Structure 1
Amino acid sequence: MSDISVAKPYAAALFQIAAEQNLLEKIEEDVRAVKDVFSNEGELLEFLEHPKVTKEAKRDLITASFAGLNTQVLNTIFIMIDRHRADSIAAMAEEFISRANEERSIADAEVYTVRPLTEEEKTEVSAVFAAKVGKKTLRIKNIADSSLLGGIKLRIGNRIFDGSVSGKLERLERQLLR
């Protein structure tokens, strides 16, 4: 079974609890932290999936590593570990974030520019492109990329908007080579 099909029921349950308790933002913040750790720390997954490590040792490590995490998030992680689904925790977090974004009509956007954007520029980009993807607002992650030469490039979900100078040059090159 794929990670996402395993992760969806856990994400749905956690999302329902978060919505019922009006803790969607707090739990989403915690889930984002969990996603970052489980996406980047392969050794943690190896430890959690090792058959000789006891459940108590696994729980102790998670409790110590994620001190201050919402108990609902911790309990979801514990259940997934107990059911040998630790490898799907990052996918569960991704699914939860996706549901939370959908609920609030927010989209995550990676914005590539030559220099970091100011807050005012981020707000303007959010206003323009949120409407294009049918959302209220964008949560912008700005990435400085000097190879763009100028302009802006956005990735929102699986859509890419390329208004960069390097992108325009590449398109021009393709047209000329036809």
Structure 2
Amino acid sequence: MSEAVVAKRYAEALFQLGTEKSTLDNLKEEASVLQEVFARNKKILTFLTHPRVKSDKKNQIITEVFQGFSGDMVNTMKLLVERNRVELLPSIVDHFIDLSNEAKGISEATVYSVQALSGDEILKLEQTFAKRFQKKAIKLINKVDPSIIGGIKLRIGNTIYDGSISGKLKRIERSIVTANK
């Protein structure tokens, strides 16, 4: 069975547990923290997946480092240690957050701009695109990308809305090339 399928199954089980216990919002917050922890500190995942470190030591570290987390999240991490599946944790967390957002009608998107957008600009974009996609809300993550020259580019799922100057220039270039053939 592929690792993606296994990660989805663990995420679905955690989602189902959170739904049954009405702790989905809390678990989603913890999952977001885990996502950030693994993105910023690669050493923790290396430690948890290292074959020479005993499971007892890994579980002890999980208990100490994540002591403010719910029992369900900590037990999920310990279960992954026990089954030698800790390397799937970042993928499980990503799938879990997607499931939680989908259940609440929320989508996550990335907006690329030349400079960081203000909170007000992000809020207006979130409202505009939430209506367009018929979602309750859209959570935007702003990434600065000077290569777009100006305007914005928004990626939501597999869809990209390109309102950047560099995108417009590329479209003009393509139309000129196809017109000259």
Fold match (TM-score > 0.5) = yes
What is the deviation of 1:14?
1.2
1:155-176 Cα offsets, whole Å, 9 max, x none, are: 1111111001111011111211
Tell me which amino acid in the other structure corresponds to 2:45: L
Distance 1:4 1:35 in 2: 17
Map 1:155-174 onto structure 2 (within 5 A). 155-174=155-174
RMSD: 1.7
TM-score by length of 2: 0.89
Structure 2 unmatched ranges of 5 or more: none
Distance 1:168 1:67 in 2: 50
Tell me which amino acid in the other structure corresponds to 1:46: T
Equivalent pairs: percent with the same residue? 39
- 2:86 aligns to what? 86
Aligned length, in residue pairs: 178
Distance 1:82 1:40 in 2: 24
What is the deviation of 1:33?
1.7
**2:8 is the counterpart of 1:5:** no
Structure 1 runs of 4+ aligned residues shifted over 4 Å read: none
Distance 2:15 2:5 in 1: 16
Structure 1 unmatched ranges of 5 or more: none
1:47-80 Cα offsets, whole Å, 9 max, x none, are: 2223321111001122222231121111111101
TM-score by length of 1: 0.91
Distance 2:164 2:122 in 1: 16
Cα pair distance change 1:142/1:61, threshold 3 Å: same
State which drifts further: 111-120 or 92-101: 111-120
Distance 1:152 1:167 in 2: 9
- 1:127 aligns to what? 127
Tell me which amino acid in the other structure corresponds to 1:134: Q
